């Protein structure tokens, strides 16, 4: 389940409105309420009968210990009472199981309501909350000489940094091979990002499995919601991760934290695999949309009262990376219609790519509030001895590599065709310039 039953009963109106704002069917909320009522009725009746059966069994035990024959007439009535209750319980429980699975089905279709400060509407209601850096034009002038910034695939080809054709030969279209300085750049970016997040931002580094089981895929909602987007290994019931969010969030599935353990903040590198089903023909050139890319992901577990502030901080940590790399970007507050099913609030970071003259999404920072935590039963104890409560989970890219690489190539290309290495990466690249 995703929306909590208690919340469903307590504030159905807010949940209904949340569904409307996200363009989902609000009548599911009412259907769920009906089933929830039925569930409680059945459960009460079943529990009552189970108590009866337990009492009868206990009496049989006592009678036998007192000397009655186990198969004698003295216990026959008790056995019959117990068996009769058992028959009814079986029926009730079958009905209950059907009701619960129907209810769960409905709950999975009720979206997480957006935060009150999220603009309502479709993508056109997204708000640019800030822009950083200089937006370089494609048609440039350097030292009085006019020149044209090329798209990243041209820069990469000239400098032998990645090879899309050979990637297509060994795997398929959308599986880039990074070569020479391109490969080095991958390593440099991963190292740089992890260093900043761990050493300066205090996050704990995680190097997770790139493949997860179905329970983990279910935990973060990849199945059933986004099953089409994942590569599957059916023989072993395993899934290639589309983001480190999946393994890292599942680190603490079914766990209960003490209050002083929170917040827990991770930074994790992983390769990311996405089928991009339905995106055929989009962004076919270069590395803007590929089946395998690399990403450093931030995953936070927070106390509920801290999560609103944590999202701002998380987003800021992703911005730090772009600023250090000297890449111009903007921050978008996504409107309800552009939010996913599970996010309460989301900022997208888009980097400016002057060669293709486009904004490229390189990070998506979200607060899930307790929605994901409920699915995974990740809780904490507000104080010693108190009842566990759900934590809030957040995550955001910090950053996705392929598009960041594209922005670097297009931003830092020089009129002579060489590539200047951003200062922050020079210690990792061991050079200030990439030449053919």
Partner RNA sequence: GGAGAGGUCGCCUAGUGGCCUAGGGCGCCGCACUGGAAAUGCGGUAUGGGGCAACCCAUCGAGGGUUCAAAUCCCUCCCUCUCCGCCA
* Whole-angstrom distance, CA of residue 153 vs CA of residue 162: 8
Contacts of 37 (CB under 8 A, 6+ apart): none
Question: Least distance in Å: CB of 6 to RNA?
Answer: 7
Tokens found for residue 179: 């070569």
Residue linked to tokens 């190097």? 207
**Which of 60, 185, 189, 248 is the binder for RNA (CB under 7 A)?**
60
Residue 48 contacts RNA per CB under 7 A? yes
Query: Measured from the CB atom, is 24 or 255 closer to RNA?
Result: 255
Judged by CB under 7 A, the chain residues 404 through 423 that form the site for RNA are none
Question: Least distance in Å: CB of 246 to RNA?
Answer: 18
Question: 3-state DSSP call for residue 308?
Answer: helix
**Which of 11, 14, 40, 259 is the binder for RNA (CB under 7 A)?**
40
Query: Measured from the CB atom, is 197 or 375 closer to RNA?
Result: 375
Judged by CB under 7 A, the chain residues 126 through 165 that form the site for RNA are none
Query: Measured from the CB atom, is 48 or 130 closer to RNA?
Result: 48
**Which of 44, 180, 224, 427 is the binder for RNA (CB under 7 A)?**
44
Residue 79 contacts RNA per CB under 7 A? yes
* Whole-angstrom distance, CA of residue 410 vs CA of residue 356: 8
Residue 168 contacts RNA per CB under 7 A? no
Which range binds RNA by CB under 7 A, 24-32, 80-88, 106-114, 116-124?
Answer: 80-88
Tokens found for residue 121: 């509407």
Judged by CB under 7 A, the chain residues 234 through 273 that form the site for RNA are 256
Residue 427 contacts RNA per CB under 7 A? no
Cα–Cα distances in angstroms (integers) from residue 192 to residues 195, 327, 401, in the given order: 5, 15, 12
Residue 7 contacts RNA per CB under 7 A? no
* Whole-angstrom distance, CA of residue 346 vs CA of residue 191: 26
Beta strand pairing status for 419-420 and 232-233? unpaired
Residue linked to tokens 């020079």? 426
Question: Least distance in Å: CB of 42 to RNA?
Answer: 10
Query: Measured from the CB atom, is 86 or 340 closer to RNA?
Result: 86
Residue 65 contacts RNA per CB under 7 A? yes
Beta strand pairing status for 204-206 and 264-273? parallel
* Whole-angstrom distance, CA of residue 19 vs CA of residue 266: 31
Judged by CB under 7 A, the chain residues 348 through 407 that form the site for RNA are 379, 381, 384-385, 387-388
Residue linked to tokens 């640019």? 128
Beta strand segments in 124-175, E = 127-132, 139-142, 145-148, 162-163
| Interacting residue ranges for RNA, rule: CB under 7 A | 5-6, 40, 43-44, 46-48, 50-51, 53-58, 60-61, 64-65, 70, 79, 82-83, 86, 256, 379, 381, 384-385, 387-388
């Amino acid at each position: 389940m995703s929306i909590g039953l208690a919340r469903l009963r307590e504030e159905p109106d807010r949940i209904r409105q949340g569904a409307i704002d996200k363009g989902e069917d609000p009548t599911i909320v009412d259907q769920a309420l009906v089933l929830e009522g039925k569930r409680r009725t059945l459960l009460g009746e079943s529990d009552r009968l189970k108590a009866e059966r337990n009492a009868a069994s206990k009496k049989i035990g006592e009678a036998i210990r007192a000397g009655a024959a186990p198969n004698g007439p003295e216990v026959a009535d008790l056995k019959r009472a117990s068996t009769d209750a058992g028959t009814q319980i079986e029926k009730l429980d079958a009905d209950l199981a059907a009701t619960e699975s129907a209810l769960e089905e409905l709950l999975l279709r009720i979206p997480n309501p957006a935060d009150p400060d999220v603009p309502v509407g479709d993508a056109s209601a997204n708000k640019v909350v800030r822009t950083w850096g200089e937006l370089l034009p494609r048609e440039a002038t350097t030292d009085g000489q006019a020149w044209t910034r090329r798209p990243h695939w041209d820069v990469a080809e000239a400098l032998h940094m990645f090879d899309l054709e050979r990637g297509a030969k060994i795997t398929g279209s959308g599986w880039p091979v990074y070569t020479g300085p391109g490969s080095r750049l991958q390593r440099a970016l991963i190292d740089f990002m992890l260093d900043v997040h761990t050493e300066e931002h205090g996050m704990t580094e995680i190097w997770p499995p790139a493949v997860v089981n179905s329970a983990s895929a279910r935990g973060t909602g990849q199945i059933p919601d986004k099953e089409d987007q994942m590569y599957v290994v059916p023989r072993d019931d395993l899934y290639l991760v589309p983001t480190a969010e999946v393994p890292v969030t599942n680190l603490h599935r079914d766990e209960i934290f003490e209050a002083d353990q929170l917040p827990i903040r991770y930074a994790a590198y992983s390769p990311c695999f996405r089928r991009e089903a339905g995106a055929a023909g989009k962004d076919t050139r270069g590395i803007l949309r590929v089946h395998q890319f690399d990403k450093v992901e931030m995953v936070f577990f927070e106390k509920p009262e801290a999560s609103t502030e944590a999202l701002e901080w998380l987003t800021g940590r992703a911005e730090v990376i772009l600023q250090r790399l000297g890449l111009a970007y903007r921050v978008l507050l996504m409107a309800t219609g552009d939010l996913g099913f599970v996010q309460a609030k989301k900022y997208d970071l888009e980097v400016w790519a002057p060669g293709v003259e486009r904004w490229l999404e390189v990070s998506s920072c979200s607060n899930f509030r307790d929605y994901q935590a409920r699915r995974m039963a990740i809780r904490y104890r507000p104080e010693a001895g108190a009842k566990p409560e759900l934590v809030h989970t957040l995550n955001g890219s910090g950053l996705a590599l392929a598009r960041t690489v594209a922005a670097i190539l297009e931003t830092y290309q020089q009129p002579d065709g060489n590539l200047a290495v951003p200062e922050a990466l020079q210690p990792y690249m061991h050079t200030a310039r990439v030449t053919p």
